[in-house]
Amino acid sequence: MCSCAPQLADPTCSQSLPANIVRPLRLPVVSSGDACPTTSDHPESTEDFAGVALGSGQVEPLIGSTPIVALRSDGWYATKTLWFTIPKYDGPVLVRGARIDGQGPVGFGEQPLIGHLIIPPGPTLNEGLDGYRQAPGGTFVRAPGCYAWQVDGIGFSYVLVFKAVLR
């Protein structure tokens, strides 16, 4: 989870991604006061999607069962997020996110690193015997609200929308 494309202008990157997965962000915009158009294939889930996978693509997040809580004294909120790829996809993945009902960053990883998440091609350190490649960590936000991730890989690009809520 530590490579990126030169086009992303991130000085912490050590490798590059194929140019065909570094697509422009196409996140929806939600007006203040409008409902958050969340993504879910699980109608029985709660609106913050704790403990369920979102969507049905080649790369998906599994949101931790703990609610979004204040994590640090600097104001970040977090929830455990496990990204995984289906076994038949072994290419690179780029995940970026932002708040879509106002201003606000999304951080990824074990600490709130603003920017993007990368799952490199091939086996991962956390790959299961079943072939699911995994990228554990967290999703960090500065405030409750409506957020979206854009998931890009070879041959696909899609957006997942989630609502960060406090309990």
- Per-residue pLDDT tens over the stretch 132-167: 888 888 889 998 889 999 999 999 999 999 888 876
Q: Does position 130 have pLDDT exceeding 90, yes or no?
A: no
User: Can you give the residue ranges of every domain in the chain?
Assistant: 37-164
Cα 99 to the chain's mean position, in Å?
Answer: 12
Mean pLDDT for the chain overall: 78
- Write down the pTM of the prediction: 0.79
CATH architecture of the domain covering 37-164: Sandwich (2.60)
Q: How confident is the model at residue 7 (pLDDT cuts 50, 70, 90)?
A: very low
